[in-house]
Amino acid sequence: MRTRFTGCGTALVTPFTRSGALDEAAIRRLAKRQIDGGVHFLVPCGTTGESPTLTRAEHRRVVELVIEEANGRVPVLAGAGGYNTREIIDLAAEMEQIGADGLLSVTPYYNKPTPEGLYQHFLAIAQHTRLPIVVYNVPGRTGCNVEPVTLARLASIPNIVGVKEASGNLAQVCEVCRVVPDDFIVLCGDDPLTLPMMAVGAKGVISVASNEAPQEMAKMVEAAERNDFGAARALHSQLLPLMQVNFVESNPIPVKAAMAAMGLIEEAYRLPMVPPKPESREKIISILRELQRLAVPAGKVSA
């Protein structure tokens, strides 16, 4: 039986209107599309959701809308991380108050804490919320890596229940799976590495590609969960070009361009995110065409 925050979770994009406001109707539609597609949990206001550019009120509103649309059908793991521990404690309390099921908390970035600082940061957050916390380790963005020994310490804190591991270091992932308790949830944070990580003990993925292909990503993870790696590999092979093109430029630029081409959202970003370069857009459109996911002719896709 699947536990909460295992399987395929979607790191939801945050759709904006052309004027730059939250597109609340699109947020609801995207959440419903994910649930109807069979994903196992939703992750609003993470990196893919452009959380650094959201105001506190917008962050709250996005999570509220996703919770309302989920309506208990799938858990909602709300983004609540950053470099100011006191502010994250306050944000965690707000996410708990509005009904989130858990928190995805990225490591502090820019200030580069020591391993002890990381431990104390997450301990402080955990002591001020009843919600389960999934640590988000993405050193390529934060300049800060959670070493396996530190993660093993964090796993001893009752409501720190898992890690989204996006270091891209499979040797580190193997060591993490070796040193944490069996019930600690290791999740892949790099779509192309989902199957290798699940082979060594990860329990799913927090995915970007499932924004575009929720049903296929969910089925791929479910196949791996039942040790049907033949079926999982077939889906992985089909989706790999999409997984890769989503990072042809900084996430979430490509995935938002793709979703706009699919007719799911307006293509709108907030600075410092900008539309993809023409050559990147051509790659995105080419992959969507191969997967038969274009909603409009390529020449009609806005730049």
Average pLDDT per consecutive 10 residues, the chain (303 residues; last block may be shorter):
84 97 98 98 97 97 98 97 97 98 96 96 98 97 96 97 97 97 97 98 98 98 98 98 98 98 97 97 98 69 39
Q: How many residues does the chain have?
A: 303
Active site residue 136: yes
Q: Could you tell me if residue 249 is inside a domain?
A: no
pLDDT at 296: 57
pLDDT at 295: 82
- Are 223 and 193 in contact, with CB atoms under 8 Å apart? no
Active site residue 256: no
Q: Could you tell me if residue 240 is inside a domain?
A: no
Output the CA torsion 290→296→298→303 (10° steps).
-130
**Which residues are CB-contacts of 54 (< 8 A; sequence separation ≥ 6)?**
14, 45, 62
Q: Could you tell me if residue 282 is inside a domain?
A: no
Q: Residue for token digits 């997967």?
A: 291
**Which residues are CB-contacts of 293 (< 8 A; sequence separation ≥ 6)?**
212, 213, 258, 261, 262
- The parent domain of residue 88 ranges over 7-226
CATH code, domain carrying 124: 3.20.20.70
Name the catalytic one among 83, 164, 256, 277. 164
Q: Could you tell me if residue 21 is inside a domain?
A: yes
Q: What is the pTM of this model?
A: 0.95
- Are 24 and 58 in contact, with CB atoms under 8 Å apart? no
Using CA atoms, how far apart are residues 294 and 146, in angstroms rounded to an integer?
39
Q: Could you tell me if residue 263 is inside a domain?
A: no
Name the catalytic one among 83, 119, 136, 277. 136
**Which residues are CB-contacts of 227 (< 8 A; sequence separation ≥ 6)?**
none
pLDDT at 4: 86
pLDDT at 3: 67
Using CA atoms, how far apart are residues 258 and 117, in angstroms rounded to an integer?
39
Q: Could you tell me if residue 123 is inside a domain?
A: yes
**Which residues are CB-contacts of 236 (< 8 A; sequence separation ≥ 6)?**
194, 195, 220
* Closest to 158 measured CA to CA, from 191, 115, 127: 127
Residue-wise DSSP of 96-155: HHHT-SEEEEEPP-SS---HHHHHHHHHHHHHT--S-EEEEE-HHHHS----HHHHHHHT
Q: Could you tell me if residue 30 is inside a domain?
A: yes
pLDDT at 301: 43
pLDDT at 300: 44
Q: Could you tell me if residue 274 is inside a domain?
A: no
How many structural domains comprise the chain? 1
Question: CB-based burial of residue 140 (10 Å sphere; 0-12 exposed, 13-18 middle, 19+ buried)?
Answer: exposed
